[in-house]
Amino acid sequence: MGRKLLTENINVPGIQSLDVYRHHGGYEGLKKALGMSPDAIVEEVKKSGLRGRGGAGFPTGMKWSFLAKPDGVPRHLVCNADESEPGTFKDRYMMEHIPHLLIEGMAIGSFALGANTSYIYIRGELLYVYHILQKAIDEAYAAGLLGKNIMGSGFDFDLHLHSGAGAYICGEETALIESLEGNRGNPRIKPPFPAIQGLWQRPTVVNNVESIMAVVPILKMGGDEYAKIGIGKSTGTKLISACGHINKPGVYEIELGLPVEEFIYSDEYCGGIRNGKALKAVVAGGSSVPVLPKELILKLANGEPRLMSYESLSDGGFVTGTMLGSGGFIVMDEDTSVVKNLYTFTRFYHHESCGQCSPCREGTGWMEKILHKILDGHGTLEDVDLLWDIQSKIEGKTICPLGEAAAWPVASAIRHFRSEFEEYVKNPSSIKKDNHYYRVNNISSEVA
């Protein structure tokens, strides 16, 4: 059983409330932090090796150390709670069940960065979570954990919620900042980076919910102790959102380095594939990362077991590997049409493209249409090559990584499952449009 740093108390009855949270050691991390110098806190986070948990995996301590500190200019910490990556639902789960962990992390981070006003940008659809967080923030204000002179430290700190309104692109940090300023979520050209000119052109750090929460145990146990958990440069624990054709979907906190095979088949985690079926493929880090067939997700190209870590999942590059990404772990069984699953992803990226860059705006639409054509039984072999060509012309040619996020699923599906595309083209009657086996309630007559 791996160590639990974020979810240790998540099932304690009433942990949503301040009293119960404090009774279980809540805000002790903040108390400790307020007795340290801000630079010493940044140093602890650096020592922990914590890497951004939203998907990019950039070292959090380093991101913090880049923050510009010009005299007289306010700075901000912004929490990215715009969780929208298909397959990912960990942040929602954490904010819903243990909201004070996020507030404590925001207070520690803001003190370390010298930010007196910070924001949590939460996706608009999660309104019920917004209310849970607002209630927790109100409790924290009433208890002197937020507001003027928090915990008697002399540090003034205001924390506000900001609701989005439905736009995946706002999970990109500069689009999120634009949205927080009341604009369309169009990513900015970088540089300047947010650390220099972010929210209202002020120095800003944007961190994912899980990254900010992880700062709390790091402060409590010390960065060195945290770094002992995990494997190599993948330190600490990671929340994995597991979904698809598994027996036990849900959010699991794992020590980085757990074998993928154990994660999928152990009863402690996913509990194996549903209905006695065999595994076909996995998208390991949210819809944007390359899909891998069974043999490559379980083992590296050299035959060694693949591990749940940044390095092991990306071993082999995109030829045989993928990415840890956001930890959105989507499992597909033997009956799944990889082409149809890809179509839903491509439709997603087409819908979510902000439209600034032509390769992404046009390319995502073309890819969706070509996949629709193939699934409709009218595809040609040239269409498969055209898909490959389009994705290769989106990747690396856009302002923000949504271009790559749209291209990689297409490239990997063709790389590893080309025969399925070709079969659909040559023999349209083989096209599986639905997962009939999983028809809801198995009452197909009512649906037809």
Partner 1 sequence: MNNENKLKFSDDALALSQRMVNRYPEGKQKSALIPLLHIAQAEFGGWLSSDAMDYVASLLKITSIEVYEVASFYSMFNLKPVGKCVIEVCHTGPCWLLGSDDIVKYIEKKLSIKVGDTTADGMFTLKTVECLASCGTAPMMQIGEKYHENLTLTKVDDIIHECKATVVEHVTHWTKKEIK
Residues that bind partner 1 (CB under 8 A): 74, 83-89, 91-92, 117, 119, 123-128, 131, 160, 162-168, 179-185, 200, 241-245, 249-251, 283, 287, 328, 330, 332, 336, 340-341, 344-345, 347-348, 351-352, 354, 433-435, 438-441, 443-444, 446-448
Q: Which is nearer to partner 1, 241 or 412 (CB)?
A: 241
Q: Which is nearer to partner 1, 207 or 288 (CB)?
A: 288
H/E stretch holding 177: helix 173-180
| Cα separation, 346 vs 282, whole angstroms | 17
Closest approach of partner 1 to the CB of residue 282, in Å? 12
Place of tokens 């009855």: 13
Closest approach of partner 1 to the CB of residue 211, in Å? 17
| Cα separation, 76 vs 135, whole angstroms | 22
Closest approach of partner 1 to the CB of residue 78, in Å? 12
Closest approach of partner 1 to the CB of residue 176, in Å? 12
Closest approach of partner 1 to the CB of residue 80, in Å? 13
Q: Which two tokens stand for residue 67?
A: 């923050």
Closest approach of partner 1 to the CB of residue 164, in Å? 7
Distance in Å from the first CA to the final CA of the chain: 45
Q: Which is nearer to partner 1, 40 or 165 (CB)?
A: 165
Which residues, in sequence order, are CB contacts of 394 under 8 Å at separation 6+? 359, 360, 363, 364, 403, 404, 406, 407
DSSP letter assigned to residue 368: H
Angle between helices 127-142 and 99-113 (to 10 degrees): 60
Q: Which is nearer to partner 1, 35 or 74 (CB)?
A: 74
Q: Which is nearer to partner 1, 103 or 219 (CB)?
A: 103
186 C-beta neighbours (distance < 10 Å), count: 18
| Cα separation, 252 vs 263, whole angstroms | 9
Closest approach of partner 1 to the CB of residue 77, in Å? 15
| Cα separation, 213 vs 228, whole angstroms | 18
CA atoms within 13 A on the CB side of 228: 5
Count of residues for the chain?
Answer: 448
Q: Which is nearer to partner 1, 67 or 413 (CB)?
A: 413
| Cα separation, 101 vs 92, whole angstroms | 13
Q: Which is nearer to partner 1, 42 or 338 (CB)?
A: 338
| Cα separation, 184 vs 170, whole angstroms | 9
Q: With contact defined as beta carbons under 8 Å apart, do 126 and 80 qualify? A: no
Q: Which is nearer to partner 1, 185 or 236 (CB)?
A: 185
Closest to 325 in 3D by CA, of 405, 226, 251, 266: 405
Closest approach of partner 1 to the CB of residue 361, in Å? 13
Q: Which is nearer to partner 1, 45 or 137 (CB)?
A: 137
Closest approach of partner 1 to the CB of residue 326, in Å? 11
Closest approach of partner 1 to the CB of residue 346, in Å? 10
Characterize 259-272 residue by residue with b for buried, 16 or more Cβ atoms within 10 angstroms of its Cβ, and e for exposed.
bbeebbbeeebbbb
Q: Which is nearer to partner 1, 27 or 168 (CB)?
A: 168
Closest to 329 in 3D by CA, of 277, 279, 388: 279
| Cα separation, 448 vs 444, whole angstroms | 6
